[in-house]
Structure 1
Amino acid sequence: MTVQTYTNVSGHRLHFQLAGEGETLLLIHGSLCDYRYWRWQLPALSQNHQVVAPSLRGYWPEAFTTEDDTFSIAQHSRDLQTLIQELSPDRPVHVLGHSRGAHVALDLACRAPELTRSLILADPGFRFEGEAETTPSHSQAVDRLKRGEVDDALADFIDNVSGPGTWRQMVGWFKTMVKDNAYTLLSQIRETNLAVSLDRASGLQCPVLLIGGANSPARYGSRLDILEQALAQASRVTIPLASHGMNLGNAKAFNLAVARFLDQATS
């Protein structure tokens, strides 16, 4: 695995890990993460594919520490579109997004279907158009960040998305990564209640895999339920013994599910 930097993204640098050869699989991390999040996926999935794991704009190693207008789902999607055109100019790529990264992945697939060979959405948390707006689940975390209570803020956020007590059980490298990206929440809070058009999503023609954690909070499963009904070409798997961070909690089952889907999508 190598770490590389691509600088031709509207003057911004994108840092990414690259491993393997073959058709390209793009891994898109979620909130408070970066390319380090995929540490158990790159070795396994790069055996048969070229795997690209970028840190999205504003995340470590150049993490935003203040609110920034260039931090958005749409901007991240456009950045990745540029990166794909650079790394795989002649062939569409497989796209996998987790949590907030699933929102980026879906936007990318809808924005540039010609670049998307297949799409994998793991525990998306977005709101669909027509659903009621809600109070931001991470508003308390943002308030604590602004008061300098970083550890408490991160505990609030991680426990909210993965279940009570999750932050306390996290290993050291994961906590370091999350702390490195803590202040991205100041920008992320601005996209609260950003809605996804189900009509737009249902126009996708590529193969789609929906992945959920068996122990993930119910709100993620409800997103997968709606997508499964709307996308005739979608298949779905549940990762046992895992919550929201299923690619870490049960990496073996997650990697196997992804590998099997990619084999089917390319056959």
Structure 2
Amino acid sequence: MTTASDGTDVEAFDEGSGPIILVVPPGMDDGSGYARVAATLADRFRVLRLRRRQYRLDLPAPVTIADEVRDIEALVRAVDEQMLLVGHSSGAVVALEALVAMPHAFIGAVLYEPPVVTDLPLGEPGAEAATRAAVDAGKPGAALAIFLRDVVRIPAAAAWLTRAALPFMPKYKALVPRQIDDLSSLIALGDRRDAYRGIATPVLLLGGGKSPSHLAARLDALQEILPHCSRAVMPSQGHTANTQGVDELAKIIARYAETRD
């Protein structure tokens, strides 16, 4: 679709017409995770779904958050129009960095549970090393289970059920090493709250009522320092609202986009 400043091809799904919404998807996403949300929005908006560099297997690893911000910068230049920025999970951290780097590019942002580093560490002690060791040993299922249990902090039984199912989901199995790279990039970024204090763009912080409690605590930390933010909760959703709460999430994004016109 366009080219980043370092020469990397940038790809995005482009659907609908109207005011522009740019979506930065969550981890373990090959570009399809926001397809149904985008389809719901596309009758009123032009929706660009970034294929995150972190999860493109045609590109070399590792990938930094700065690399992914370069991709957003390239899309902003190519479109040459202000847009609403939507980020989910680690994609919402990338979106926060884009808001710092391009303060005039966006009319607003909707951020779903960004796992920002705060006084809370990102994961249990040793989680990053354990997931990396499992990947290096050729055990992606174990790596994902450790990540889900010790970083996302879902119940251990659910994490290990996902491990058992992974051999039957080859698309996601291939993305596990990139998820661990994504975790490392978030940890390497560190606590960026001082930079985020200067974000003047209006931001809607969005969370799920059934999500792990540390994600709400990270939203609390952001709400304390973002100068122009509001907060909303999807009571019946967890961290995967983009697939489990499609219609509700699309309505929230659309309403916020309309308030920014």
Please say whether Structure 1 and Structure 2 have the same fold, judged by a TM-score greater than 0.5. yes
Distance 1:158 1:46, change over 3 A: farther
Aligned: 1:156 with 2:150: no
Distance 1:153 1:225, change over 3 A: same
* Alignment gaps of 5+ in structure 2: none
Q: Deviations over 1:122-166 (max 9, x none)?
A: 1011113xx365636443222211111122222332454262216
- Higher mean displacement: 15-24 or 192-201: 192-201
- Higher mean displacement: 27-36 or 107-116: 27-36
Distance in 2, matches of 1:242 and 1:177, equals: 24
Amino acid at match of 1:248: T
Aligned: 1:82 with 2:57: no
SS at match of 1:62: coil
Equivalent residue in structure 1 for 2:112, among 115, 119, 122: 122
What RMSD, in angstroms, separates the aligned Cα atoms of the two structures?
A: 2.5
Q: Structure 1 residue 261: deviation in Å?
A: 1.1
SS at match of 2:53: coil
Q: Deviations over 1:10-61 (max 9, x none)?
A: 2212222110111211111122223111122110112211111111224235
Distance 1:78 1:7, change over 3 A: closer
Aligned: 1:25 with 2:21: yes
Amino acid at match of 1:57: R
**2:101 equivalent in structure 1:** 111
SS at match of 1:127: coil
Distance 1:124 1:45, change over 3 A: same
Whether the aligned pair in 2 keeps the contact of 1:208 and 1:234 (CA below 8 Å) is: yes
Distance in 1, matches of 2:31 and 2:68, equals: 14
Whether the aligned pair in 1 keeps the contact of 2:26 and 2:87 (CA below 8 Å) is: yes
Structure with the largest fraction of helix: 2
Distance in 2, matches of 1:257 and 1:41, equals: 11
Equivalent residue in structure 2 for 1:183, among 156, 177, 183: 177
Distance 1:132 1:27, change over 3 A: closer
Q: Structure 1 residue 62: deviation in Å?
A: 1.8
Identity of aligned residues (%): 23
**1:145 equivalent in structure 2:** 135
Distance 1:39 1:155, change over 3 A: farther
Amino acid at match of 2:84: H
**2:211 equivalent in structure 1:** 216
TM-score, length of structure 1 as denominator length: 0.84
Q: Deviations over 1:219-238 (max 9, x none)?
A: 11011112222234211111
Distance 1:167 1:116, change over 3 A: farther
Distance in 2, matches of 1:119 and 1:257, equals: 12
Whether the aligned pair in 2 keeps the contact of 1:127 and 1:193 (CA below 8 Å) is: no
Whether the aligned pair in 2 keeps the contact of 1:142 and 1:185 (CA below 8 Å) is: no
**2:58 equivalent in structure 1:** 62
**1:44 equivalent in structure 2:** 40
Amino acid at match of 1:37: G
Equivalent residue in structure 1 for 2:194, among 163, 184, 199: 199
Aligned: 1:240 with 2:230: no
Whether the aligned pair in 2 keeps the contact of 1:125 and 1:223 (CA below 8 Å) is: yes
Distance 1:166 1:255, change over 3 A: farther
TM-score, length of structure 2 as denominator length: 0.86
Distance in 1, matches of 2:4 and 2:96, equals: 23
Distance 1:8 1:231, change over 3 A: closer
Distance 1:137 1:29, change over 3 A: farther
* Alignment gaps of 5+ in structure 1: none
Whether the aligned pair in 2 keeps the contact of 1:127 and 1:195 (CA below 8 Å) is: yes
**1:168 equivalent in structure 2:** 161
